[in-house]
């Protein structure tokens, strides 16, 4: 197991290097110049600009810049935002908690929806309940999050006027009112993302449970007189959830990407909206750092999914 872990980690490093190389090449080939703003500003003499370019090492050849960038990334020195004049790490750490709270709750909500519905639908395949839930799952993942978001705002904020549609991180106050204000503004982004996740997962849970529920050992469990509840929860679900756990781990990077859109709709000050604003402002170090963080997440959760799968399913052997 630990040898497998080490080997898997060793595979992850070239993967990250490859991803960073792709990202860096894309940026290096692009025509945009982070000093464009200075170039058009008449108050900045060209010598200063040249000095700055030199100081930031923008005149060096691309491979040199890549190696320098990658080694400093590894050392934890992620550079300096051109726009907000703060360390990139500080900027990301500022935004990350908000994103994590929203995304984490959304994933939990998704599972809370998907597990009971998926399991129950699979217990009675092709029943009315199954057909209705399958239809809703289909609708759920065909509805793009940007449209659900707008519909939610339209209904809950404008028509009913129950929930605020702009997320504010700086709500003042203390105690319960403060907490309630925070919960209220988080409901819609969490629901939009969570229901989308839930719809995708429901289908998967259903088919995973259906695969297991037909197996012989389930008949045995029923035949020896176990109650339906024990049979389902202890015998079926445990085994059916193995692929579901893997799927959830693999979904997590995708949720982060989905967050880009949701955060933009509800103006959640998270890492996704930071990405959009820095792309629009041509803030290269921040863009690179966030994209790289996303890439790390993908690689990390692939690893987690592999390990979990092997840990949960003893039939998988590590070689």
The distance of closest approach from Cβ of residue 165 to another protein in the complex, given in angstroms and rounded to an integer, is 8
Rounded to the nearest whole angstrom, what is the least distance from the CB of residue 39 to another protein in the complex?
Answer: 15
> Locate tokens 């399958």: which residue?
134
Nearer to another protein, 25 or 227 (CB): 25
CB of 153 to another protein, least distance (A): 6
Q: How far is CA 209 from the centre of its chain?
A: 26
Residue (129 or 136) nearer to another protein, CB: 136
Residue 80: helix, strand or coil by DSSP? strand
Least distance in angstroms from the C-beta of 75 to another protein: 22
- Is 153 or 186 the residue whose CB approaches another protein more closely? 153
For residue 245, the minimal CB distance to another protein (Å) is 20
| Sole residue written with tokens 């900045």 | 44
Cβ-Cβ contacts under 8 Å for 19 (sequence gap 6 or more):
292, 295, 299
**47 or 161: CB nearest another protein:** 161
Cβ atoms of residues 145 and 286 within 8 Å: no
Q: C-alpha angle with apex 308: 307 to 309, nearest 5 degrees?
A: 90
Return the number of the residue (226 or 304) whose C-beta is nearest another protein. Answer: 304
Report, in Å, the least distance between residue 116 CB and another protein.
23
Q: What is the 3-state composition of the chain as percent helix, strand, coil, each rounded to the nearest 5?
A: 75, 0, 20
Of 226 and 300, which CB lies nearer to another protein in the complex structure?
300
Strands (E), 96-225: none
- Which residue's structure tokens are 């997320």? 167
Q: Are 273 and 103 in contact (CB under 8 A)?
A: no
190 touches 102 (CB < 8 A):
yes
Give the binding site for another protein (CB under 8 A).
15, 18-19, 22-23, 26-27, 30-32, 138-139, 141-144, 146-147, 150-151, 153-154, 158, 253, 256-257, 260-261, 264-265, 275-276, 279-280, 287, 290-291, 294-295, 297-299, 302
Q: In terms of CB distance, is 51 or 257 closer to another protein?
A: 257
Write down the least CB distance from residue 163 to another protein, Å: 14
Question: Residue written as tokens 């035949």?
Answer: 223
The alpha carbon dihedral of 266, 267, 271, 277 has a sign of: positive
């Amino acid at each position: 197991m630990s040898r497998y872990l080490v080997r898997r980690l060793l595979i992850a490093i070239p993967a990250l290097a490859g991803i960073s190389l792709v990202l860096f090449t894309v940026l290096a080939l692009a025509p945009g110049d982070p000093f464009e703003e200075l170039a058009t500003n008449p108050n900045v003499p060209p010598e200063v600009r040249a000095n700055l370019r030199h100081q930031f090492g923008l005149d060096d050849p691309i491979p040199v810049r890549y190696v320098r960038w990658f080694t400093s990334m590894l050392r934890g020195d992620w550079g300096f935002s051109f726009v907000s004049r703060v360390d990139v790490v500080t900027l990301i750490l500022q935004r990350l908690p908000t994103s994590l709270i929203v995304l984490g709750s959304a994933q939990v909500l998704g599972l809370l929806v998907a597990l009971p519905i998926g399991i129950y639908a699979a217990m009675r395949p092709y029943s009315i309940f199954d057909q209705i839930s399958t239809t809703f799952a289909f609708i759920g993942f065909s509805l793009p999050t940007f449209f659900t978001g707008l519909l939610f705002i339209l209904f809950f904020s404008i028509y009913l006027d129950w929930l605020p549609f702009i997320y504010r991180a700086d709500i003042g106050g203390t105690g319960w009112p403060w907490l309630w204000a925070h919960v209220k503004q988080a409901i819609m982004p969490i629901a939009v993302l969570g229901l989308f996740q839930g719809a995708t997962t429901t289908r998967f849970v259903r088919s995973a449970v259906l695969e297991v529920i037909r197996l012989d050992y389930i008949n045995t469990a029923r035949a020896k007189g176990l109650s339906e509840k024990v049979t389902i929860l202890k015998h079926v679900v445990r085994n059916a959830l193995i692929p579901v756990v893997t799927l959830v781990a693999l979904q997590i990077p995708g949720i982060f990407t989905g967050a880009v859109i949701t955060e933009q709709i509800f103006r959640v000050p998270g890492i996704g909206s930071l990405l959009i604003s820095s792309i629009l402002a041509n803030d290269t170090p921040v863009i690179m750092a966030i994209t790289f963080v996303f890439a790390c997440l993908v690689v990390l959760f692939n690893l987690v999914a592999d390990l979990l799968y092997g840990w949960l399913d003893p039939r998988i052997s590590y070689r």
